[in-house]
Structure 1
Amino acid sequence: MLKKLNLITAAVNAVLITGTIGVSSAFAQETTDVKPVERIQVTGSKIKRFNLTSPTPVTVISGVELENQGITNVNDLLADMPQATVGLSPETTTNSIYASGLNTTDLRGLGSERTLVLVNGRRFVPGSIGDTAVDLNNIPTTMIERIEIATGGAAAVYGADAVAGVVNIITKKSMDGIEFDVSTVRPEQSGGEQNNFSITGGMEGDKLSFIASVNYTENKSYGKLSRDFYRNPVNTYINPANLNGTDGIPERIILGKPTGLAYYSEGGDFFSKGAFTDDGYNNHHYTFDENGNIRPFQMGSGRIPNPNQALIDHENKLANPSNSYFEGGNGDGVFGHGYKSYFQTPLERLIASAYGTYQLNDDHTLTFDFTYSNTESTTESTPAFFRHTIRRDNAFVKNDMAKLMDDNELKSVTLRQANENLWGDRAYNQEREVFRTSIGVEGIISDDWGYSTYAQFGRIEQDTLWTGEVLTQNLANSIDAVEYQGNVVCAKRNDDGEVIGAIEGCTPFNTMGATSATQAQVDYIGTTATRFAQHDQVVFALTVDGSLFELPAGYVAAAFTAEHRRESATTTPSENMQKGLIFGNSSLPMDGEIDVNELSAEISIPLLEDVFLATDLTFETALRYMDYSVTGEDNAWKLALNWGVTDELRVRLNRSKSVRAPNIGDLFTPNSKTFSSGRADVCRADSIATSGSKYKANVIKNCQAAGLAEGWKPSDAWLAAGSLPGYIQGNQNLKNETSNDYTVGVIYTPEFVEGLDLTLDYWSFEVEGAIEYFGRNSVELCYESSSLDNPFCSNVVRNEKTGEIENFFTRPINAAVINKKGVDVESAYRTELFSGDLALKLTATYLIDDNSNSTGRAEDFRSDVGEIASPRWKGRFNAVYSHDDSAYVLTMNYRHATVNDNDWSIEQNNYNDIPSYTTFDFMYKTNILDELQLRVGVNNILDREPPRNPFTYDDGEFFDVKGRRISLGAKYTF
């Protein structure tokens, strides 16, 4: 019988306390006597093998490692792994709408959409509608047996999206008993508390075995002002010593004062009696007292003039005259430093899951699994803000304001206002429900061949609710209140602006000095908005694997897979969103579907065995054919060698082609309105005359080819029209991305140091035709190209008569190129120490190259290596000492020093360098009874805050903003 006994599990059990394990042949040899040797399956291959050797680098993280860190979300651990970085998390989605609270991983920093997350070797439903990235919030940690990370060559085995690699989460398959686990995390500073509870149970019978669990987690949010390092910001200002752009003196410098200065936030009610001027425009600002009378706008503790004010030169533009600095935050309209800013989105999740097997007979087994997850998060935002036109005939204009307008011959003024006191803050509440189930059969066909087949269905439903929203036209109607026929009504005007009647059903509203609104006014002006979205995933798959024939060095093994997958997604915004009636949000319905049929073959050919300089040598190859309903046919392949040089030394080589297919969102996103500030156009005669671009000749040629005569200028009306409108839209002409991947690895297990493993892997990714979103920048890219025959010009719409840009499209285009190269280093050492066991584990990544080019033009390549998101070195060190029933776990995470910008020059600032960053975590756990385990830990022992730099001091993506925190946990089993 082809059993599912897994030797990897045996290996993990032998070294549970090491946390992460580099897979090597020596490791397999250490554990071959733990359980009977059966054919097993390693992530990165569907061929079941007799050992753990693989030509693809595989890192294994045991489920115990999550417990050792006090972690209840897989992504919290993966984010610290050197091979990965954060995709999305509650720390990076505090201002997101549809992505609020998501947890996704990102291998190699190539993007979450290029990392394939599997559960038990099978795809999982996406975390967001129309996407492919998996939300790790939906994976219960108490069910995790181990996590296997394979990089390089995975697309040929698993299909598209595995460009950077595969994260395969292996769950527990059975359990005999019941286990309760409760834990909490308490930061030293307030906010960010976390509470967790789980119950897991199961049985192991002769025919039926199963495991089931219920997990509940509550992550509380915390504002930025709750952290002392944020309350003491790192501010910068224009350097008064700087004279020009060539004097070697930085334009901006760090203030160096603990109280700091901040740009003034003009968030309150005010209007100006004239145009902004260079000599202190605040003198022309007015606001209202609580009775609606005007008074001068207060600038808080005082306005500090621009240090370079005297140097302002409209020709050289050495400084921006509107740059003003204000100390303190007690003026009119100041939301204040950190107002409505959060380090973490609140997240509440409930997961119920089960996995089971039923022995049909000696040769065939029925498998089934089920997952239900409910997550909810709420993102808060500032109030809606507007610019209202207040006409002179407004019924609520008082005498003092009327006199001011008459004295200055003003027929109207613009009132800037945030609705803080009227409808309150805006909030985005998002609830996601995930349902996933599969049923399959696996077993043996003959002594040499086995099979596995399954059918799987997954669905995510996403409900989004916006509160504190405003119907913009209704607001404008209600504010334009006039006295008509003895009553105050909402003005109905003709084309000349004359009042000709009242707008029926409109409730007038005096917004000047208002601190509240009546219920009738709220009912007319305020609103909520909703969007319901659903994504379905259906998969049918069959794999057969076994031995084809025998060679002198062993059996030729193979695996053949057929798979059909359908992804479909729909979104249904509320009517006010579809019609674009509310402030800041408009969206049309989406309905998209992708079908793909795939066939794959994987073959392992043993070439040599037990000869000089080759204990074994195996050639492996895989080919996957894919037929997508939208992008057509494609293929992925790999060629690999696995070479055991000696009992101590092994070499592995892998060359592969991977692909990523565009997702439903990339293809089918419907029109939604957007705006771009300013009215720049490279074809304007004045822009061409002052251009220093190396593409100037192309611009002149292409603008004329587009029908714009030499010396063309847009009209004054176009220039004065404000923001340029645009549309966000999918692109059904997208093609699959292609990646050329290389890995070369060495595994060394010296006999003279028992218990030591060393692994070194070089890796390289070259992604071509990467999908990148282009919007307003399409204008420049279109005309800077060698001709108008380029993918960017379709994103620009000009008026056929005037030549003026009417709107632009933000669409994805296959234009980008990404190159990444690096070296992974892993070392594990296990030994007895005193009367216990010591396990040490070091995992590190050295980044050689990180080059990107969003346009595909060779001259636009830039290097990101050594910048904040791409440090040269990332490392993680684990030390675990176990004695009797207790274990002591110390973990160190390290990021090398970086810079903010590789293209930096001293003329820009004096704070480009970012120092290295290291944190330490500790966990102690002990079994005080056979049934009861207690855990206590401290994360970020030294209370390391983010580097004190303007670019990073509040960065929660790459640095710890939660601070020192204690974790407590208990587990009871019976």
Structure 2
Amino acid sequence: MNNKLFRRSITAVAVASTLSFPALAQDNTAEQDKIEKIEVTGSRLSRTNMETPVPVTVIGREDIVQTGAINVAQVLNMSPVAIAGSDQSNSAFSTTTVGLNTTELRNMGAARTLVLLNGKRFVSGVDPSTGYAVDLNAIPTAMIERIEILKSASSAVYGSDAVAGVVNIITRKNFDGIEINAQTGISGQHDRQTQNLNLTTGKDWDDGNAWFSFGIDNDEGLKSTDRSFSALDRAVLLDENGNEYIGEVLSSYPPQGRITTDNNSYDGDGTPYSGGFNRASARQLVTPLERRYVAAEIRQNLTNDLHVFGSVHWNSAETQGSTIEPTPFNIGEDLWMNHRVEQPIAGLSVYSPLVPDLLRQNLLSEGIDNLNETTFVRRMSEFGARSTDVTRDTLRIASGFTYNINYNWTWDSYMTWGRTNQEQLNGGQINTDRARLALNVVEDDNGNLVCANPIARMQGCAPLNLFGEDTISAEAVDYVSTPAKATGTAEQFVVQSVVSGDLPYELEGGFVGLAGGLEYREEKGTYSPGDLAQTGASSTNLSEPTNGSFNTKDVFVETRLPILTNLSVDLAARYSDHSATGAATTWNIGTEYEPVDGFKLRASAAKAIRTPNISDLYSGAGETFATVTDPCSGITAATAGNIAENCRSITSVNNRIQSNGEFELTTAEVQSTGGMVGGNPNVQEETAETYSVGAIWQINDSLSATVDYYDITVDDAIAITGRSTVLQRCYSVAPENFDASCNDQVFRSSEGVLVDVDSSSSNENIISTSGVDLELNYGTTIADGQFTADLIWNYTDEYSIESIYDGSVETYEGSVTTPNHRANLNLAYAMNDLTFSWRMRYWDSSKDSTNGYNYNFTDFAPLQEFNNVGSVTYHDISARYLMSKHYEFTVGVRNAFDKQPPILPQGTVSGGTGINTASEAYDVTGRYYFAGVSISF
């Protein structure tokens, strides 16, 4: 292959990183400017420069080092085009995704962002019952050479999932020598300590290279009580004048218990109710995370034309000690009125020896002789906080070869296999079967309270005294508590073969390039919740197992047509045969035109798909109690229409209408509707149409710019069908077609109350987003040093979701996680061996909800003053000193001015559970110092 002069394109400058602090002390000799053809993200055609018809942003290794980040997710989510999907804060309340770090482009979901490692797919790190995404914890920053972000759909090149774009993480290669990297960090409040240690060694020889790397890093995390904004459970309230303010809201599930009748509320001991519980006292602001990894690679030239490689990558990400508040226990619903219990007991008599005399007398005075006639709830503090310990082990193997067929054509083939194993242990859970036995007590011959069931006594049953704080004995805790263990696996196998080169057909701008190939991909996933979770016999939600697999066989082709010396067109197409959804075709088209030297126009269009993943198709159903709207509510004997007629056709509903004049539900009945939500094997692929048009302008030797407009529309977007929507669709049909069970998705009690409404994933929505990306790069010599300034700015013009069912449209542009403006300004100055950097990150002012879905906790009206969230700017400062060719030191501070996040408490749409803010948008740690050293020899 002939060497060609690599013209350092204006794109290579203009698409400098969102965090760009260029390597300033470089020897830019003519020899360095001569390189072979290269392959860039977004194309399988080799080319002689970094220019592509679609915008690509590059984050270099220098950029990563200067941020002080030990997790690649943190690096990506500082970019204005990316946002966290799951992070160590917004996942802290989850039992399945806790500790995950994922990213998404254009805020379109992690499943619509394809993450590659060295241009090849990487196995999902999410348990298959929950979703599909690469866990960035599995890719340590010490391994990374650069990150290329393709900000456009590219399914024709890479296959399914590349809807919003592609994140291609490229690791270091051809390492020769030994390098040791160590870093430590601590917040300005002397907590959230981090430690990182990495060793890499490699060796070059005449026809190959091998390297080996291992490391460990630790993030100690934060408790919610470590920061004032998250230390209390808060919500927006109204004062006596109707003005909004943020106040403390305690949980009505207190450790002493609460027994509520129609007229009064009592503590468990019978005294008047004394107050609630601060759930934030046990919650996590940042989940602790420890990672260990080992990686190795070998590359060997077997002949002048045949080159082979093999790599192995193992990573273990461990979250230990993540906690949320102790179990909130509704004794009536969880034990006595659970319709899944084959023989539910009739409740607890007030004459039970466990019931304190004062409470008994109070209840009898109100005519109550059984606790199931009250609302009886309690915080099970004696069982400790609910804890989640998760270990995710990822093993990935890749191997392949490159064969130079001749001076012009190349054959590339590879295979990858990856597997993520997740083991999860949840503490603080309650065995509800045993709890029922432990509440049924009698006095023995010595006057001691014992469990009435003799078999239960033989198994260690001890009376469960729920009437007061700290009244549950250690013996009862041992008998009733149960560990909840869950395991899951995600497995991926990919094999691909590509032939590429130049056709013997020359246009005015050069030879026509062509690449074509075959790909086979197989995905498998399993998830097994604990036995008690599967039977509904524990305080955790009922959950069914997941087991599924699919494969896809693809054929793809790509060509580059250099029509003129200043005009080229790129075309790509892919045909996919998916085992679950059938055949689909995707395509890309892009063009570049340079009317004058230094100014280039580019445009692209694409059809992309996201085929459903294991979770979408086969996720085992999980229990939910989210509020639903009963279409029969308010129906009378005179109400007209299909819904009313269908409601009255149900005997239990009609009996209530005849008795009360209308079908009216109590607050408890509205809030008690459960149901199961899971996958759907009939769900089909999403289809996206995307467009972009832009320009690249080398204004002068010091200043360059790129600007790109993008437009993305996703049809048939996959989502869980809302349970209220399930009811509306079912009840609005013509009476002759009405099925009261709604195809076995709806179950009502003998009183007509909705007990269960089930749902699943389906093709529900149309998602549309559009906006503008702008990048400016400036560099000049000042004194004896080099100064650079880089600006990257994103403007989101539209982000909307349209319901396919009813055509309703909800807009989200200008909301907290989809602000109109995001920008980074990066300044750097390098002189001799010292580099100083200052980065400013801007997040625009926004609204918590653009659709009125938030509410205050006084009259539950949508928020007004506290719906508005101010803009935030963070300042990150760092310095790097090269003491010699062997030693390099880095120090820095993130959020240097200790900017506190806006408070987004309960009732807001954007606020994360337990953290009172949105960690995807705002820094929750505060000022953070870091220092590191790199030793190489």
Q: Quick check: TM above 0.5?
A: yes
1:391 is aligned to 349
1:203 is aligned to 203
Per-residue deviation, residues 582-619 of structure 1 (Å, max 9, x unmatched) = 1123323221001111110001111112xxxxxx1111
1:632 is aligned to 582
Per-residue deviation, residues 64-110 of structure 1 (Å, max 9, x unmatched) = 10101111111111111111111111021110111111111110000
- Superposition pairs of residues 295-314 of structure 1, within 5 angstroms: 295-299=271-275
2:325 is aligned to 382
2:138 is aligned to 138
CA contact (8 A) 1:153 1:637 kept: no
Query: For 1:117, what is the secondary structure of its paired residue?
Result: strand
2:340 is aligned to none
CA contact (8 A) 2:636 2:657 kept: no
Per-residue deviation, residues 219-259 of structure 1 (Å, max 9, x unmatched) = 112122212344589753225345xxxxxxxxx5126xxxx
1:735 is aligned to 684
What amino acid is the match of 1:422? E
Per-residue deviation, residues 819-863 of structure 1 (Å, max 9, x unmatched) = 0000000111122111011121111111111111245532x1021
CA contact (8 A) 1:758 1:827 kept: yes
- Compared CA separation, residues 762 and 701, structure 1 to 2 (3 A): farther
What amino acid is the match of 1:969? G
Does residue 253 of the first structure (1) align with residue 213 of the second (2)?
no
Per-residue deviation, residues 764-807 of structure 1 (Å, max 9, x unmatched) = 10001000112422245415867799999658425699986552
Query: For 1:588, what is the secondary structure of its paired residue?
Result: coil
Per-residue deviation, residues 631-656 of structure 1 (Å, max 9, x unmatched) = 11111111211112221111111111
Quote the RMSD (CA, aligned, Å): 3.4
TM-score by length of 1: 0.85
Does residue 357 of the first structure (1) align with residue 299 of the second (2)?
yes
1:447 is aligned to 407
CA contact (8 A) 2:234 2:248 kept: no
- Compared CA separation, residues 86 and 483, structure 1 to 2 (3 A): same
What amino acid is the match of 1:297? Y
Select 2:884's aligned residue among 929, 932, 945: 929
Does residue 116 of the first structure (1) align with residue 122 of the second (2)?
no
TM-score by length of 2: 0.88
Q: Aligned equivalents of 1:371 and 1:575: distance in 2?
A: 33
- Superposition pairs of residues 332-347 of structure 1, within 5 angstroms: 334-336=276-278, 338-347=280-289
1:534 is aligned to 489
1:176 is aligned to 176
Q: Aligned equivalents of 1:958 and 1:154: distance in 2?
A: 27
2:25 is aligned to none
- Superposition pairs of residues 514-529 of structure 1, within 5 angstroms: 515=470, 520-529=475-484
2:342 is aligned to none
Select 1:889's aligned residue among 814, 834, 837: 837
CA contact (8 A) 1:17 1:880 kept: no
Select 1:590's aligned residue among 546, 556, 572: 546
Q: Aligned equivalents of 1:701 and 1:401: distance in 2?
A: 46
Does residue 772 of the first structure (1) align with residue 715 of the second (2)?
no
Q: Aligned equivalents of 1:145 and 1:336: distance in 2?
A: 46
- Compared CA separation, residues 650 and 708, structure 1 to 2 (3 A): farther
1:330 is aligned to none
Does residue 878 of the first structure (1) align with residue 826 of the second (2)?
yes
- 1:747 is displaced (CA, Å) by 0.5
- 1:442 is displaced (CA, Å) by 0.6
- Compared CA separation, residues 908 and 774, structure 1 to 2 (3 A): same
What amino acid is the match of 1:889? S
2:922 is aligned to 959
CA contact (8 A) 1:22 1:826 kept: no
- Superposition pairs of residues 820-859 of structure 1, within 5 angstroms: 820-858=769-807
Does residue 644 of the first structure (1) align with residue 594 of the second (2)?
yes
- 1:17 is displaced (CA, Å) by 9.5
CA contact (8 A) 2:440 2:452 kept: yes
Query: For 1:88, what is the secondary structure of its paired residue?
Result: coil
Select 2:847's aligned residue among 899, 908, 926: 899
CA contact (8 A) 1:18 1:839 kept: no
- Superposition pairs of residues 97-496 of structure 1, within 5 angstroms: 97-130=95-128, 131-230=131-230, 236-241=236-241, 253-254=244-245, 260-263=247-250, 265-272=252-259, 275-277=261-263, 281=264, 284-288=265-269, 294-299=270-275, 334-336=276-278, 338-378=280-320, 379-388=322-331, 389-413=347-371, 414=374, 416-418=376-378, 420-483=380-443, 488-491=449-452
Q: Aligned equivalents of 1:60 and 1:929: distance in 2?
A: 28
CA contact (8 A) 2:175 2:210 kept: yes
What amino acid is the match of 2:470? T
- 1:702 is displaced (CA, Å) by 6.6
Per-residue deviation, residues 525-571 of structure 1 (Å, max 9, x unmatched) = 11101111111111111011001222232111011121111111112
1:605 is aligned to 561
What amino acid is the match of 2:586? A
CA contact (8 A) 2:646 2:738 kept: no
- Compared CA separation, residues 9 and 459, structure 1 to 2 (3 A): farther
What amino acid is the match of 1:434? T
Q: Aligned equivalents of 2:144 and 2:353: distance in 1?
A: 67
What amino acid is the match of 1:111? G
CA contact (8 A) 1:669 1:730 kept: yes
CA contact (8 A) 1:683 1:703 kept: yes
- Compared CA separation, residues 800 and 957, structure 1 to 2 (3 A): closer
- 1:913 is displaced (CA, Å) by 1.7
- Compared CA separation, residues 851 and 502, structure 1 to 2 (3 A): closer
Does residue 569 of the first structure (1) align with residue 545 of the second (2)?
no
Select 1:618's aligned residue among 545, 549, 568: 568
Q: Aligned equivalents of 1:529 and 1:537: distance in 2?
A: 27
What amino acid is the match of 2:883? I
* Unmatched 5+ stretches in structure 2: 23-27, 332-346, 854-860
- 1:173 is displaced (CA, Å) by 1.1
Q: Aligned equivalents of 1:827 and 1:688: distance in 2?
A: 68
What amino acid is the match of 2:428? G
- Compared CA separation, residues 852 and 718, structure 1 to 2 (3 A): closer
1:968 is aligned to 931
Q: Aligned equivalents of 2:720 and 2:382: distance in 1?
A: 37
Query: For 1:473, what is the secondary structure of its paired residue?
Result: helix
- Compared CA separation, residues 147 and 519, structure 1 to 2 (3 A): same
Q: How many residues align?
A: 887
Q: Aligned equivalents of 2:720 and 2:163: distance in 1?
A: 19
- 1:18 is displaced (CA, Å) by 6.9
Q: Aligned equivalents of 1:744 and 1:676: distance in 2?
A: 43
Select 1:666's aligned residue among 616, 627, 630: 616
- Compared CA separation, residues 31 and 163, structure 1 to 2 (3 A): farther
Q: Aligned equivalents of 2:716 and 2:133: distance in 1?
A: 19
Select 1:654's aligned residue among 589, 599, 604: 604
Per-residue deviation, residues 256-307 of structure 1 (Å, max 9, x unmatched) = xxxx4435644122344x6244xxx4xx42333xxxxx433334xxxxxxxx
2:78 is aligned to 80
- 1:368 is displaced (CA, Å) by 1.1
Query: For 1:372, what is the secondary structure of its paired residue?
Result: strand
Query: For 1:66, what is the secondary structure of its paired residue?
Result: helix
Query: For 2:625, what is the secondary structure of its paired residue?
Result: strand
- 1:198 is displaced (CA, Å) by 0.8
- Compared CA separation, residues 790 and 125, structure 1 to 2 (3 A): farther
